[in-house]
């Protein structure tokens, strides 16, 4: 296991024992550092394309992935770095990819919006809002037909929750009784437009009723709350109990994408969340005050992660570009 893999690794933990807590913290810290570093690097103009940061929402990815095995699947969104890291994608490979380099996890052909690794059960970030939910229905069907206990989880934003594909997928999962979990990451905005407008600020979880499936709302800043709700839904799905909808209320720390001036946001909105509800802060408080982990253990992870990200960025900048032949390879398996 390379250092890079260690950082992205997670195992499925039945309970939140010490190993599980350390893994969860490492996952969240890796995502946070990855994203904050991208934020500063993007400002230098060296990172190409559209970059959507997950910072602030880490507890959701970590809370769900803690329950997943390597052969469980996840479908992500345009804001996919967090899900990818939490699902075990190679962190350096991701960084290389975002820099468009040949050693990238997608050979530099996908970029931030298409990070994927099917071998890790990561079905891809997705440039199409609402693109992922249909895919996880297919994974659920596959598990059912082949008689495995795999589950599949799709992530969608509050804005994406209004895309027709998402409704259809919930209904299909319900009709076919699939082991699928639909997660809505409600960060209050779709680009600049508020969820208060785009779906009247309702609890999106409420829509589960229309598909005969359980729907719950959890605090997406609270790893433990997410972990518990996720565990229940995933367990039910594995046991043949069918799909669920979980809405995580959360906040994004940066703009819709890098370069967004964010003048649509409230004053001090992010500052207040960072101060009061930051998922890393809450986690640290909880595990240290309960005596489950000590500060030194966490600091050590911080240090390791910092080194990993430094190294990833340094290497990514120096890594070679894809070679011209790659332009036309990998369109088909055979043609």
Partner 1 sequence: MSRKSYMQAINEALAQEMERDPTVVVFGEDNVGGTGSPGEIDAWGGVMGVTKGLYGKFPNQILDTPISESAFIGAAAGAACSGLRPVAELMFVDFMGVCFDQIFNQAAKFRYMFGGKARTPMVIRTMYGAGIRAASQHSQALYPIFTHIPGLKVVIPSNPYDAKGLLIASIRDDDPVIFFENKVLYAIEGEVPDEPYTIPLGEAEIVREGEDVTIVAIGRMVSMAEQAAASLADDGIEVEIVDPRTLSPLDEDTIYESVENTGRLVVVDEAYPRCSMASDISALVAQNCFEHLKAAPKMVTAPHTPPPFSGSLEDLYVPDPEKVANAVRETVGQGVAS
Ligand X SMILES: Cc1ncc(C[n+]2csc(CCOP(=O)(O)OP(=O)(O)O)c2C)c(N)n1
Which residues sit at the interface with a copy of itself, rule CB under 8 A?
162-168, 171, 174-175, 197-200, 202, 204, 206-207, 209-212
Query: Binding to Mg ion (CB under 5 A): which residues in 147-166?
Result: 157-159
Query: By CB under 8 A, is residue 175 in contact with partner 1?
Result: yes
Task: Give whichever of 149 and 303 is closer to partner 1, judged by the CB atom.
Answer: 149
Q: Which CB, 119 or 299, lies closer to partner 1? A: 119
Return the number of the residue (127 or 322) whose C-beta is nearest ligand X.
127
Task: Count other Cβ atoms within 10 Å, centred on residue 94.
Answer: 26
Would you say 95 or 184 has its CB closer to ligand X?
184
Is residue 251 close enough to count as binding ligand X by CB under 6 A? Answer: no
184-213: contacts with ligand X (CB under 6 A):
185, 187, 189-191
Closer of 160 and 179 to ligand X (Cβ)? 160
Which residues, numbered 73-132, are part of the site for ligand X (CB under 6 A)? 77-79, 127-130
Contacts to partner 1 from residues 249-308, by CB under 8 A: 261-267, 269
Q: Which of residues 23-42 bind partner 1 (CB under 8 A)?
A: none
If you search the block for the tokens 């997670």, which residue do you land on?
10
Report whether 97 contacts 85 (CB < 8 A).
no
79 binds, among ligand X, Mg ion, partner 1, none (CB under 5 to 8 A by kind): ligand X
CA distance 234 to 256: 29
Query: Is 319:313 a contact under the CB 8 Å cutoff?
Result: no
The C-alpha R_g of the chain, in whole angstroms, comes to 19
163 in contact with partner 1 (CB under 8 A): yes
Beta bridge partners of 192: none
Kindly state the number of chain residues that form the binding site for Mg ion, as judged by CB under 5 A.
Answer: 6
Using CA atoms, how far apart are residues 134 and 193, in angstroms rounded to an integer?
Answer: 25
Give the phi and the psi of residue 6 in degrees, each rounded to 5.
-55, -45
Tell me the C-alpha distance between 6 and 27, whole Å: 10
Indicate which of Mg ion, partner 1, a copy of itself, none lies near residue 212 (CB less than 5 to 8 Å, by partner kind): a copy of itself
State the residue for tokens 């910092």: 306
Q: Would the CA dihedral through 331, 4, 98, 104 be positive or negative? A: negative
């Amino acid at each position: 296991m390379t250092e890079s893999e260690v950082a992205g690794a997670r195992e499925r933990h039945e309970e939140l024992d010490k190993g599980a807590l350390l893994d969860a913290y490492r996952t969240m810290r890796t995502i946070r550092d990855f994203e904050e570093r991208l934020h500063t690097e993007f400002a230098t103009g060296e990172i190409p394309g559209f970059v959507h940061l997950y910072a602030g929402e880490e507890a959701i990815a970590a809370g769900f992935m803690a329950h997943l095995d390597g052969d469980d699947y996840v479908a992500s969104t345009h804001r996919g770095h967090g899900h990818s890291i939490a699902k075990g994608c190679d962190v350096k490979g991701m960084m290389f990819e975002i820099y468009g380099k040949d050693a990238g996890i997608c050979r530099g052909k996908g970029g931030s919006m298409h990070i994927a690794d099917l071998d890790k059960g990561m079905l891809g970030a997705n440039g199409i809002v609402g693109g992922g939910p249909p895919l996880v229905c297919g994974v659920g069907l596959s598990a059912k037909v082949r008689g495995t206990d795999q589950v599949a989880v799709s992530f969608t934003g509050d804005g994406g929750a209004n895309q027709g594909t998402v409704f259809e997928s919930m209904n299909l999962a319900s009709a076919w009784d699939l082991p699928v979990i639909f997660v809505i990451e409600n960060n209050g905005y779709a680009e600049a437009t508020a969820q208060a407008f785009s779906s009247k600020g309702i609890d999106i979880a409420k829509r589960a009723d229309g598909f005969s499936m359980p729907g719950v709302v959890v605090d997406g800043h609270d790893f433990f709350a997410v972990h518990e709700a996720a565990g229940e839904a995933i367990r039910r799905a594995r046991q043949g109990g069918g799909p669920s909808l979980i809405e995580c209320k959360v906040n994004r720390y940066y703009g819709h994408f890098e370069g967004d001036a964010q003048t649509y946001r409230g004053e001090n909105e992010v500052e207040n969340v960072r101060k009061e509800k930051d998922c890393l802060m809450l986690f640290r408080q909880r595990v240290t005050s309960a005596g489950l982990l000590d500060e030194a253990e966490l600091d050590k992870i911080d240090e390791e992660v910092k080194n990993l990200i430094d190294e990833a960025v340094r290497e990514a900048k120096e890594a070679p570009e894809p070679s011209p032949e790659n332009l036309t390879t990998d369109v088909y398996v055979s043609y």
